[in-house]
């Protein structure tokens, strides 16, 4: 090929203390292509891109942009070199307008008015060119995440970026929004922009990219043409062993009613009604999956069931009414009723990050008789118990004296799951079981959830990952704006239909 690569990295290495985040990485990204970088959490993808965007300085190695060797000591140099970055967590000022966010750092002079005028014109031109329409005067806090992401892309384009890096761009988007994003990316590619897409979702790589590089443990293990590979092959390259991408499970054998929710309503601290009259049932031996875009009331639903929030309506477990507002509406009372809860945010609600793993395996059940020895805690018993859990749930490293924060996301989740599942609950509430969890660990966690179902337990699964909902659930309910939009059987629906329901369109319309 005669043209120089848009970006070429040669021998990039970066260590944080004893951890080698990037080991001798070389990569060539050709102009006018979409290049995917895939790898598990902690594989070093983000570190590599942060080096490219001037957040970190590489210990070793060189960066070439369009054939020219450059040094990128800070973000300003990266912007000057034509690199734009859309971070996973948007870097927007919430109470500024779109326009103000776009010009921030790229103003033309000391006074704002001329810059704002020019930006308004430029944004209109960009919107026409790339179909990136946004209202320039809207406040960021008032627009949806899909729009916010467009603002991030516009920010980069306004700074004349030729190379656009997107870090896990679809994590917060509905399937429809994601499709729209990919259309925009293809449009950008057609106009000659180079795009680097960082993701851990195999589907996106297969759909959107021309070339894909796989990273594992800080190393670049392969770069292949997307058309010449398969999801199974990529997963194997990422994890280093064969991975089962589909969950293997027998058909459910639903038994007695375990959970009955009737006309549940939840009002949050700000006085906004988040759950608007939900009714649902879960039987023993089945998994009910709740699909929906984050922020549509599913978190509040879980919190009420788990005893972390008050609500009105009626919830029965094994035929007995739960206290929704009184003094038996707390999490401990719920646990006593046989409800175990794996919360959505494991780092804030599932674990105490500064406490050791063995201490974390007892939280919530610390008043259990087995853990007492007279007035004191029987730490020996708790530790023995913890060691068993860690072994059975394959927590790595298998050291129960480590603090929770020193485990990876997947292993933290295994600690929470071990604690809740081994209590043998009648009803398990699971929120986002595999958020930020590696492919290898996802497989294990899914197997554990299915195994609990096969023991005849009821499971309520809340997830924003449609693939997860589709492969784990025996029935799927879609939540939108605090209402259930309807129920589907996994075999009789697909991502497209569910995606429309998640966006508020009823199944009948489709």
Partner 1 sequence: MDYLTILQILDSALRLATPLLFACLAGLFSERAGIFDIGLEGKMLMAAFFSAATAYSTGSVWLGLLAGIAGSLVLSGIHGLASITFRGNQLISGVAINFLASGLTVLIGLSWFKLGGQTPALQGDARFQGLDLPFAEALSGVPVFGPLYSEVLSGHTILVYVALLCVPLTWYVLFRTRFGLRLRAVGENPAAVDTAGISVVGLRYAAVAICGVLCGLAGAYLATGLGASFVKEMTAGRGYIALAALIFAKWRPWYALYATFLFGLLEAISNRYPSLDLGFVTLPSQFMQALPYILTVVILAGFVGKATPPRAGGEPYVKER
| Site residues for partner 1 per CB under 8 A | 46-47, 50, 53, 55-56, 74-76, 78-79, 85, 87, 89, 91-96, 100-101, 103-107, 109-113, 115, 155
Q: Cβ closer to partner 1: 53 or 393?
A: 53
Q: What is the residue whose two structure tokens read 């990876």?
A: 408
Q: Looking at 193-246, which runs of residues are DSSP E strands?
A: 194-199, 211-216, 219-225
Of residues 81 and 291, the one with the C-beta less far from partner 1: 81
Contacts of 230 (CB under 8 A, 6+ apart): 206
- What's the closest the beta carbon of residue 177 comes to partner 1, in angstroms? 22
CB of 263 to partner 1, least distance (A): 31
CB of 76 to partner 1, least distance (A): 3
Between residues 101 and 209, which has the closer beta carbon with respect to partner 1? 101
CB of 115 to partner 1, least distance (A): 7
Residue 162's contacts (CB-CB under 8 Å, 6 or more residues apart) are 6, 31, 82, 192, 193, 194
Q: Report whether 238 contacts 40 (CB < 8 A).
A: yes
Angle at 245 between CA 233 and CA 44, to 5 degrees: 60
Question: Which is nearest to 273 in space by CA: 483, 455, 426?
Answer: 483
Q: Are strands 320-321 and 19-29 parallel, antiparallel or unpaired?
A: unpaired
**Nearest Cα to Cα of residue 404 among 353, 340, 334:** 353
Q: Give the nearer residue to partner 1 in terms of CB position, either 99 or 418.
A: 99
Q: Which long-range contacts (CB under 8 A, 24 or more apart) does 299-302 make?
A: 299/274, 299/344, 299/431, 299/462, 300/266, 300/268, 300/274, 300/275, 301/264, 301/266, 301/275, 301/462, 301/479, 302/341, 302/343, 302/344, 302/429, 302/431, 302/460, 302/462
Cβ nearer to partner 1, comparing 92 with 258: 92
- CB within 8 A of 12, min separation 6: which ones? 22, 24, 25, 26, 48, 51, 58, 60, 61, 62, 63
Q: Between 74 and 454, name the residue whose CB sits nearer to partner 1.
A: 74
Which of 36, 38, 40 minimizes the C-alpha distance to 443?
40
Considering the complex, what minimum distance in angstroms separates the CB of residue 132 from partner 1?
19
Q: How far is the C-alpha of 414 from the C-alpha of 318, rounded, in Å?
A: 27
152 vs 385, which CB is nearer to partner 1?
152
Residue with Cβ nearer partner 1 (76 or 230): 76
User: Considering the complex, what minimum distance in angstroms separates the CB of residue 145 from partner 1?
Assistant: 15
| Distance separating the N- and C-terminal Cα atoms of the chain | 47
Q: How far is the CB of 167 from partner 1 (least distance, A)?
A: 10
Cβ nearer to partner 1, comparing 113 with 491: 113
CA distance to 142, 266, 343, 431, per residue, from 411 (Å)? 36, 32, 15, 16
Taking the complex as a whole, the smallest distance from the CB of residue 107 to partner 1 amounts, in Å, to: 4
Minimum distance between the CB of residue 101 and partner 1, rounded to whole angstroms? 7
Question: In angstroms, what is the minimal distance from the CB of 78 to partner 1?
Answer: 8
Nearer to partner 1, 14 or 265 (CB): 14
Checking phi first, is residue 435 left (phi over 0); if not, alpha (psi -120 to 50) or beta?
beta
């Amino acid at each position: 090929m005669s043209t120089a690569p848009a970006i070429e990295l040669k021998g990039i290495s970066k260590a944080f203390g004893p951890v080698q985040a990037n080991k001798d990485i070389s990569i060539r990204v050709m102009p006018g292509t979409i290049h995917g970088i895939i790898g598990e959490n902690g594989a070093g993808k983000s570190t590599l891109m942060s080096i490219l965007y001037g957040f970190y300085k590489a210990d070793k190695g060189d960066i070439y942009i369009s054939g020219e060797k450059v040094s990128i000591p800070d973000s300003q140099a990266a912007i000057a070199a034509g690199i734009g970055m859309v971070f996973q967590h948007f870097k927007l000022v919430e109470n500024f307008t779109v326009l103000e966010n776009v010009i921030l750092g790229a103003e033309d002079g000391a006074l704002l008015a001329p810059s704002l005028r020019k930006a308004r014109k430029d944004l209109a031109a960009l919107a026409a060119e790339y179909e990136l329409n946004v209202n320039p005067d809207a406040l960021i806090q008032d627009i949806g995440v899909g729009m916010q992401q467009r603002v991030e892309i516009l920010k980069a384009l306004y700074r004349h970026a030729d190379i656009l890096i997107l870090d896990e761009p679809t994590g917060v988007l509905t399937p429809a929004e994601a499709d729209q994003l990919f259309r925009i990316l293809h449009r950008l590619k057609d106009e000659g922009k180079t795009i680097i897409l960082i993701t851990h979702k195999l589907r996106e790589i297969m759909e959107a990219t021309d070339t894909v590089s796989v990273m594992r443990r800080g190393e670049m293990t392969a770069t292949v043409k997307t058309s010449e590979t398969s999801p199974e092959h990529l997963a194997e390259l990422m994890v280093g062993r064969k991975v089962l991408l589909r969950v293997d499970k027998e058909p459910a054998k639903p038994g007695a009613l375990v959970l009955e929710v009737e006309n549940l309503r939840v009002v949050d601290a700000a006085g906004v009604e988040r759950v608007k009259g939900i009714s649902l049932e879960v039987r023993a031996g089945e998994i009910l999956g709740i699909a929906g875009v984050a922020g549509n009331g599913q978190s509040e639903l879980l919190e009420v069931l788990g005893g972390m929030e008050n609500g009105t309506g009626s919830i029965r477990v094994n035929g007995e009414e739960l206290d929704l507002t009184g003094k038996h509406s707390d999490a401990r009372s719920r646990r006593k009723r046989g409800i175990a809860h794996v919360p959505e945010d494991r780092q804030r609600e599932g674990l105490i990050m500064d406490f050791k793993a063995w201490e974390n395996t007892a939280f919530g059940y610390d008043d259990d008789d087995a853990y007492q020895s007279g007035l004191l805690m029987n730490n020996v018993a708790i530790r023995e118990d913890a060691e068993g859990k860690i072994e059975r749930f394959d927590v790595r490293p298998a050291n129960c004296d480590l603090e929770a924060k020193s485990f990876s996301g997947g292993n933290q989740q295994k600690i929470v799951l071990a604690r809740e599942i081994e209590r043998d609950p009648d009803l398990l509430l699971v929120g986002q079981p595999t958020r930020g969890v590696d492919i290898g660990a996802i497989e294990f966690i899914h197997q554990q959830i299915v195994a609990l179902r096969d023991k005849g337990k009821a499971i309520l699964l809340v997830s924003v990952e449609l693939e997860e909902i589709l492969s784990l659930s025996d029935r799927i309910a879609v939540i939108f704006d605090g209402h259930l939009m309807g129920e589907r059987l996994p075999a009789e629906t697909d991502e497209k239909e569910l995606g429309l329901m998640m966006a508020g369109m009823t199944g009948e319309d489709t």
